[in-house]
Structure formats: C-alpha cells, structure tokens
C-alpha cells in the first residue's frame, strides 16, 4: 500500500509503497477514506513532538473496516469508523479509576511508536516502520486496536467525520469535559486554528456568555466568529490581557484556554484568567519549553490544568 513516511526530521514525507501486516487479536484493518492534517503531525516532522523514526504519520482519520482479527467484538467489516488516537488497555491504574485518556499503556505505546502489544505492523524492505499514535493514518490502510475504532452511522461523510478524531474532540472536549464551562461564563481562547475553533465551539455549546478569540491572523478571527466568538483580539494591534479585562468588568476571564503550545502564550492565558479562574492548556508544547507564573498569584486560588484529547 501507499503511505507517507518520515525518515528524518525536517525533511519532506516520502509517499511510497510499504508492507502492512494483518490484524492480530483485538485488532482491525481499516481502509482509510480521509484524514485531517493536524499541527501535531507537523510538530513530529520538526521534532517538537518526539517520535521514533522512520514513522508513518497521521492520527486524525476515518474509514471503513475491511478485516478484523481474532476476538474482535466492537466492530465488523463494513462498519464506518472514526479513529481514536487514545486506545486504552482497560486494566491499568488510570483505566481502573475511570480515566482511560491517561492510560499508562497507551502512553507507552505512543512513546515506542508501536501498537498496544508493543510491536509494529508496518515494514519496508523487511525493516520496521513505526506508528504515530497507534494509528498511522496517512496511508491507504491502517491496522489499529479495535478500541481505536469508534463506529458512526454510514451516512456521515467520512471527510468530515475524520476531524472528530482529533480536532473536534480535543477542542470541544477541553471546554465541556476538562473545564466544564458554565452557562453565562466568560472565556478567552488563545489560538484559533482547528483545535482552537473547536474550543470556541465547545464554549458556545456550553452556553458561555462571553467568548473572546485571540489570534494574529484576521482570517482565523473571522472563522472564530462563525464558531461562536463574541469578541476578537489581534495581539499585533491590542494588548491581550488589558483587552480581556476590559471585556470582563476588569476581572479577567472565568476560563482561559491556550491552544498553541508555547510557554509564553500559556503564561498569557494564565494572566487573562480572573482570581479563582481556570487556565486550561490544550496546545502541545515541546518537552524543553517551560512556564513561569508569579507564586503569589496562587494565593488568589487561580487554577492551571492540562487537557489531553479533551479529557475524552
């Protein structure tokens, strides 16, 4: 099959023929119909997010189940599915306490570039190629754990459904699941790319009264209005923190979301939150980046918390 392979950092992907082994126990082979192009793929290419190389990228996909391995009971051939990059083992500490998005085995799998059993299904000339996020959906087919396949109705367009696999879940989930945005509350979203727009959408769905979108690109701010933003700020023309406070009776926002993944914008989001407010870090920073906050600000009961995959 054809797949897009990354062999070295900061180099173009190579679309070439690779071999794909069949599914093992509790695994499924999916014919990929569509992919979203996520900034996380770009971050792997440039080493911001680390991956073992070579690797087939892609983690925001949808397709049709073509083959199932032994013991599979969640899906069957012909089912339309959205792929989840957070397959859970079901028996580690975090799965046992009902937080499978923090599954230990899933995180180990992502770090090793394998599927849940610790092995790869991709090969080129007999040599292993690693999986991104247990999916590697930048390919014609993918073998994935059955728990990575979320069945959807057949009439849902797959080129739209694929976006639910990462951007929609990560963004909407950050607002509804992680932050638990309350009706009538004030929110600010720093970064209006695909995930940021979905944070805005999640805030709107939750009934937020004030939704402030922040981005350096005016076209993204226009999109933000379509997704539910009530106000927009371009940092090249306005001071973000001062403007947020002016829009929130000088208090700051109840909820401040950072959806870029940079230490300085995380600090900016934290500064935008009111006393007792919550800052949610949605963007994926590099391991080397750091955040500095005033220690005394913690005495105002401000909260800063992370969100992975929208706590889904």
What pTM does this model have? 0.91
pLDDT at position 48: 85
Say if strands 19-20 and 14-17 run parallel, antiparallel, or are unpaired: unpaired
Report how far residue 182's alpha carbon sits from residue 87's, in angstroms, rounded to the nearest whole number: 29
CA 264/CA 191 separation, integer angstroms = 12
Closest CA to 168 of 190, 131, 193: 193
Q: Which pLDDT value is given to residue 109?
A: 81
243 alpha carbon, distance to own chain's centre: 28
Q: Are 201 and 171 in contact (CB under 8 A)?
A: yes
Cα angle: 60, vertex 62, 63; to 5 degrees: 150
pLDDT, residue 169, reads: 95
For the chain, 312 residues long, give each residue's pLDDT as a single digit of tens: 999 999 999 999 999 999 999 999 999 999 999 999 988 898 899 988 888 999 999 999 999 999 999 999 999 999 999 999 888 888 899 999 999 889 988 777 878 899 988 899 999 999 999 999 899 999 999 999 999 999 999 999 999 999 999 999 999 999 999 999 999 999 999 999 999 999 999 999 999 999 999 999 999 999 999 999 999 999 999 999 999 999 999 999 999 999 999 999 999 999 999 999 999 999 988 889 999 999 999 999 999 999 999 998
Distance between CA atoms of 231 and 125, rounded to whole angstroms? 54
* Secondary structure string (H, E, C) spanning the chain: CEEEEECCCCCCCEEEECEECCCCCCEEEEEEEEECCCHHHHHHHCCCCCCCCCEECCCCEEEEEEEECCCCCCCCCCCEEEECCCCCCCCCHHHHCCCHHHCHHHHHHHHHCCCCCCCCCEEECCEEEEECCCCCCCECEEEEEHHHEEEECCCCCHHHHHHHHCHHHHHHHHHHHHCCCCCCCEEEEECCCHHHHHHHHHHHHCCCCEEEEECCCHHHHHHHHHHCCCEEECCCCCCHHHHHHHCCCCCCEEEEEECCCCHHHHHHHHHHEEEEEEEEECCCCCCCCCCCCCHHHHHHCCEEEECCHHHC
The encoded tokens of residue 150 equal 């979320």
Question: What is the pLDDT at residue 108?
Answer: 79
Q: How many CB atoms lie within 10 A of CB 156?
A: 13
pLDDT of residue 121: 96
- Nearest C-alpha neighbor of 87 from the set 140, 27, 46, 40: 27
């Amino acid at each position: 099959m054809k797949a897009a392979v990354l062999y070295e950092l900061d180099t173009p992907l190579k679309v070439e023929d690779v071999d794909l082994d069949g599914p093992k126990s509790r695994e499924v082979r999916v014919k990929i119909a569509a992919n979203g192009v996520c900034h996380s793929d770009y971050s792997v290419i440039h080493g911001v997010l680390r991956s073992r190389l070579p690797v087939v990228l892609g983690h925001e996909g949808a397709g049709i189940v073509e083959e199932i391995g032994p013991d599979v009971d969640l899906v069957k051939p012909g089912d339309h599915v959205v792929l989840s990059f957070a397959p859970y083992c079901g028996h580690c500490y975090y799965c046992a306490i009902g937080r499978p998005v923090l599954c230990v085995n899933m995180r180990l799998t992502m770090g090793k570039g394998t599927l849940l059993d610790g092995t790869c299904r991709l090969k080129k000339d007999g040599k292993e190629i690693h999986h991104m996020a247990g999916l590697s959906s930048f390919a014609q087919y993918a073998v994935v754990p059955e728990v990575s396949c979320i069945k959807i109705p057949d009439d849902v367009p797959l080129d739209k459904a694929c976006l639910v696999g990462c951007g929609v879940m990560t963004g909407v989930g950050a607002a509804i699941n992680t932050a638990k945005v309350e009706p009538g509350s004030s929110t600010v979203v720093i970064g209006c790319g695909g995930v940021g727009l979905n944070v805005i959408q999640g805030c709107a769905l939750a009934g937020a009264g004030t939704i402030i979108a922040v981005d350096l690109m005016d076209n993204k701010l226009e999109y933000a209005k379509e997704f539910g933003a009530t106000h927009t700020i371009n940092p090249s023309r306005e001071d973000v923190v001062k403007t947020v406070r002016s829009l929130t009776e000088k208090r700051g926002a109840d909820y401040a979301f950072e959806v870029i993944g940079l230490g300085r914008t995380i600090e900016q989001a934290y500064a935008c939150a009111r006393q007792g407010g919550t800052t949610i870090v949605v963007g994926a920073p590099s391991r080397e980046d750091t955040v500095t906050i005033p220690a005394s600000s913690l005495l105002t009961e401000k909260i800063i918390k992370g969100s992975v995959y929208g706590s889904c």
